[in-house]
Structure 1
Amino acid sequence: MPPIRTKSSRNLVEQEGRILLAIQAIQKQEIGAVRAAARVFDVPESTLRTRLKGSTNRAETRANGHKLTEIEEESLKKWILSMDSRGAPPRPSIVRRMANLLLAARGSTPTTSVGQNWVANFVKRHPELSSRFSRRYDYQRAKCEDPKIIYEWFNLVQKTILQYGIDPDDIYNFDETGFAMGLIATAKIVTRAEYYGRRVLLQPGNRAWVTTIECINASGWALPPCVIFKGKVYIESWFDGRPEDWRFEVSPNGWTSDEIGLRWLEKLFIPSNSSRTKGKYRLLILDGHGSHLTAEFDRICEKNDIIAICMPPHSSHLLQPLDISCFAVLKRAYSRLIESKMRARINHIDKLDFLEAYPSARIEAFKSETIKNSFAAAGLMPYNPD
């Protein structure tokens, strides 16, 4: 049943119609004086004068609480739907951050921002959107549901490639992996036959954490890495003599962060492959880590014709080329190099020792054939969802 309009609302609508007729009559010079037009069309003279100066009808004026224009809200809605279709529906805090980015892009001072409850009201204004709790995705359940979810993800990848005309040589996968610099990975050893259980293997001892961001291309080549050390101050002397195209960062815990992920995208990924891009668009496959597909990250991707797609949760061991092969080879190679240092009576591995060993481990891990086999094993190139 349609809503019943009250008498006051009907009067306002009728008055607005008379105001528009009065404005039209004055503009066409059918009536010369504003006072006369107000009397003829039975509208308040002060309201008519205000409207002639350019003010809009209050009923049509956008509420102050909206903050964004209709065009900005429409673009934000499309971004949310795009993120959802790529397997990364944003949290309300991420939507709020993107709204603040749109406000900041206006360049006005002081910069305004949306409030704590703005996202909830925004969702109410757009019936295409809905707020709901995410579902916990337990690993044991994931093993049962994988076939259906993975098949849907492969359909998304194929649809994206066809929609944007992405060349097979413009498909990338990136992720980070971590090292405790002085710890050796588990390895097969030869020991006494009568001993049961796992033998203890001596370690050099330094457990300081270092993270590396790696990215590979489906045609069989790897981008330069980004190495993140634990520290508060960036010291240039640590990296003397290192490859110039490598990127180095520091963070309080040696892990990646939103800011480091953005700098990697802008300073390393985009410049490193721009000259090798064959088509207009590039496809970047990544997992759902918090520092990966943030609002700022996705915005930079959109500006540079990069289509980012997130893998389903608990599926990187099946779908991510880096996890399937490259990282395992990388860690085994690094462990062998650290073990050789231990045999040479080096009992403490520091940043310089890591930077000496890591390039050799990368050469072994990121061979062209290994990278191509990783994409093939993931079913991405050649495309094989089965």
Structure 2
Amino acid sequence: MANSYSEEEDRIISALEAYRSGKNRNLSALAREYGVPYQRLRRRSLGTPSKIGNQNRPRLLTKAQEGAILSTIDSLSRFNIKLNGKDIEDLANLLLWRQYERDHPDATAPKTSAILPRLAKAQNIPSELKLVNHQWAYSFIKRIDPSLLPIADEQIESERAKVSAAMMQHWFDGLEPVIKQIKHCNIYNFDETGFILGQQPSRTRSIGRRRARAEVDERESLTSIECISASGFALPPFFIFRGSVLLERWFDESLDPDWVVSVAKTGYVNSDLAFEWLQHFDKHTINRAEKNEPRLLLFDGHTTHLTAEFLEYCGQAKILPFCFISHATHLVQPLDGDTFLTYKTKFRSWNRMVSQWGGDPTDKSVFLRGIREIRDETFTPHIIRGSFRKRGIYPFNPDLVVKPLTEREEREFVPLTGFDGILSDNARGIQPQPPQGDRVTSPALSSSSIEQPETPRSVKKCWQKLRKAIDSPLDRPGRVEKVERRWTRLETKTVTKYEEVIIQHNLLAKATKVRSSYTTTNRTKRQITKVKVLTTKDANARIAMRTEKENQQWVQRVRRENAKKLAEEEAAAVKLAELRRKALAGSDIDRLFEPFDIFEDREGDSSLRV
């Protein structure tokens, strides 16, 4: 790359000489004549210097500071915390600001706050303090490690993202001894898939003028239970319509007699229908297996598939049930691959065709008549066998699933403990290791950042080697070079770790602020009103009115309770006074006075107390 750039630079110099000598003042013609980029020639004519001879220009950050930023990016990436260009700019400016504070302890510049400061917008910045901009961040990443440049994030469900390579390898280890004893024609996989009647492709390329496409607002869904074999065989479908009764008009003579149509209140599979399908499966596969030969049935662990009745029938019919790992069917289930993808795509295209030409794709009878052609194009032996092969089930090859997961985990780890996990690892002296892929290491960091101590134990070992090199005989060959090399290595790593501590301290403060500002502990489900649209002002006003009303009700309730308690005390006092009066007026006064305690008060009068 350097030679081609140098050769191109020579041609640009020749073109500039011709331009400045007045032979040709047309930059476009000169660019075509000398075979150089026009924009680059134009920038050079305006005074932009060449990169040759400018590569060793002084950098704002030291090697230790750049290494600290790169280590922080790697550590955060392992926990799926990604930084953008502005975040990296803040990290670099933070280190430059702290370096300035250390070099100028008596400076009057404002001190940095605990949170990452936007130093580029700060006031009273000393003129001798040089800061970076957002463009520097991308240039730094491109120079140090181009693999860290921004890429589009892969969207995946949070539960499915937790599936690890170790979990899948454990599942394949359990499947291997079972699948080796079974012929491939007896390996089956079944699953449910849903259809929305009348659903058309979200985007289509059509030849003709653009026009709006109308679709039915309220569309009904149904479920189809499909089952395929590793040999390329597909069972007749088992359809579940939403309803309570079967209608005669759904059926006609053109339908396959082995198809099963059922109804359910929700339109989804339940325990009873799952058991009915199992009998349907046994009926159509028992003749394909030899006598006393087991059949392996792979399926997801839905509760409707794990009832006692379902599993008991499997044992009696010599069907071996084997469940996939939860939230991992998108990785290992054959039906979830090309089969269902092709099925859904062709179904939506068929809906569009029927709707476009005046048909009614929302009718169940039309669906049953049209699904035959779709199934014939979908469940071909080639697609079915390819689905089992790509999932690593038959032929048995776990690496097709485990290896991509391992590579993904090397690039970025699934979020487990968030930012606290990084700090706890560093507190224990465990430095997260960057991925070992095709990494491009900068020459500026190659010798010092690869062989430096990573843990307190390795630091201690490095100190011991340095002391041993210092204590070696003075006339030993290479003694000075060894001492200098070990000292530089230890010093660079120590400074890098110090810069990392600065970054992590500020990131921890930032994480604490975000958690305190953008999390809520109020989990109430109370509704404001039944209206559909409210501004925040109106909503807050309604909440305040409701709170004030509840406070007034609480005050009134407390007052009522206090009044009730006071009334009870007054009634008790009246009752006690009545008892006293009756006791004093009675003839057998000694017997009546037994429940009371007679005592003298301060004035000497006798009183009665219960």
SS of equivalent residue, structure 1 residue 288: coil
CA shift for structure 1 position 274: 0.8
Question: 2: CA distance between counterparts of 1:191 and 1:291?
Answer: 46
SS of equivalent residue, structure 2 residue 223: strand
Tell whether the 8 Å contact from 2:223 to 2:239 is kept in structure 1 after alignment: yes
Q: Which residue of 2 aligns with 1:157?
A: 175
Q: Which residue of 2 aligns with 1:265?
A: 278
Supply the AA of the counterpart residue of 2:170: E
Q: Which residue of 1 aligns with 2:49?
A: none
Tell whether the 8 Å contact from 1:182 to 1:206 is kept in structure 2 after alignment: no
Query: Is the aligned partner of 1:367 residue 2:380?
Result: yes
Return the TM-score normalized by structure 2.
Answer: 0.38
Please identify, of 221-230 and 344-353, the stretch whose mean Cα deviation from structure 2 is larger.
344-353
Q: Which has the larger radius of gyration?
A: 2
Please identify, of 299-308 and 275-284, the stretch whose mean Cα deviation from structure 2 is larger.
275-284
* Structure-to-structure mapping, 1:40-51, within 5 angstroms: none
Question: 1: CA distance between counterparts of 2:213 and 2:332?
Answer: 32
Q: How much is the aligned-residue C-alpha RMSD, in angstroms?
A: 2.4
Question: 1: CA distance between counterparts of 2:325 and 2:201?
Answer: 27
Calculate percent identity across the aligned residue pairs.
34
The 1:234–1:347 alpha-carbon spacing in structure 2 relative to 1, beyond 3 Å, is closer
Q: 2:158 aligns with which of 140, 143, 151?
A: 140
CA shift for structure 1 position 211: 0.6
Question: 2: CA distance between counterparts of 1:202 and 1:348?
Answer: 13
SS of equivalent residue, structure 1 residue 355: helix
CA shift for structure 1 position 139: 4.2
CA shift for structure 1 position 200: 7.2
Q: 2:191 aligns with which of 170, 175, 180?
A: 175
Q: 2:331 aligns with which of 298, 318, 324?
A: 318
Question: 1: CA distance between counterparts of 2:228 and 2:361?
Answer: 31
The 1:331–1:307 alpha-carbon spacing in structure 2 relative to 1, beyond 3 Å, is same
Query: Is the aligned partner of 1:166 residue 2:182?
Result: yes
Q: 2:294 aligns with which of 258, 281, 287?
A: 281
Q: Which residue of 1 aligns with 2:227?
A: 215
Supply the AA of the counterpart residue of 1:258: S
Tell whether the 8 Å contact from 2:238 to 2:261 is kept in structure 1 after alignment: yes
Question: 2: CA distance between counterparts of 1:276 and 1:208?
Answer: 36
Query: Is the aligned partner of 1:357 residue 2:370?
Result: yes
SS of equivalent residue, structure 1 residue 182: coil
The 1:348–1:292 alpha-carbon spacing in structure 2 relative to 1, beyond 3 Å, is same
Question: 2: CA distance between counterparts of 1:228 and 1:141?
Answer: 28
Question: 2: CA distance between counterparts of 1:336 and 1:293?
Answer: 35
CA shift for structure 1 position 146: 2.3
Q: Which deviations, in whole Å up to 9, do the C-alpha atoms of 1:126-160 show, x marking residues without a partner?
A: xxxxxxxxxxxx94364354211111111111122
Tell whether the 8 Å contact from 1:181 to 1:206 is kept in structure 2 after alignment: no
Q: Which residue of 2 aligns with 1:248?
A: 261
CA shift for structure 1 position 187: 3.8
Return the TM-score normalized by structure 1.
Answer: 0.59
Q: Which runs of 5+ in 1 are unaligned?
A: 1-137
Question: 2: CA distance between counterparts of 1:272 and 1:206?
Answer: 36
Q: 1:294 aligns with which of 296, 307, 312?
A: 307
Which one has the bigger helix percentage?
A: 2
Q: Which residue of 1 aligns with 2:238?
A: 226
Question: 1: CA distance between counterparts of 2:163 and 2:333?
Answer: 18
The 1:343–1:318 alpha-carbon spacing in structure 2 relative to 1, beyond 3 Å, is same
* Structure-to-structure mapping, 1:109-148, within 5 angstroms: 139-140=157-158, 142-148=160-166
Aligned residues: 242
CA shift for structure 1 position 239: 1.8
Supply the AA of the counterpart residue of 1:207: R
Question: 2: CA distance between counterparts of 1:327 and 1:363?
Answer: 13
Structure 1 stretches of at least 4 aligned residues deviating more than 6 Å after TM superposition: none
Supply the AA of the counterpart residue of 1:313: S
Supply the AA of the counterpart residue of 1:177: T
Q: Which residue of 2 aligns with 1:86?
A: none
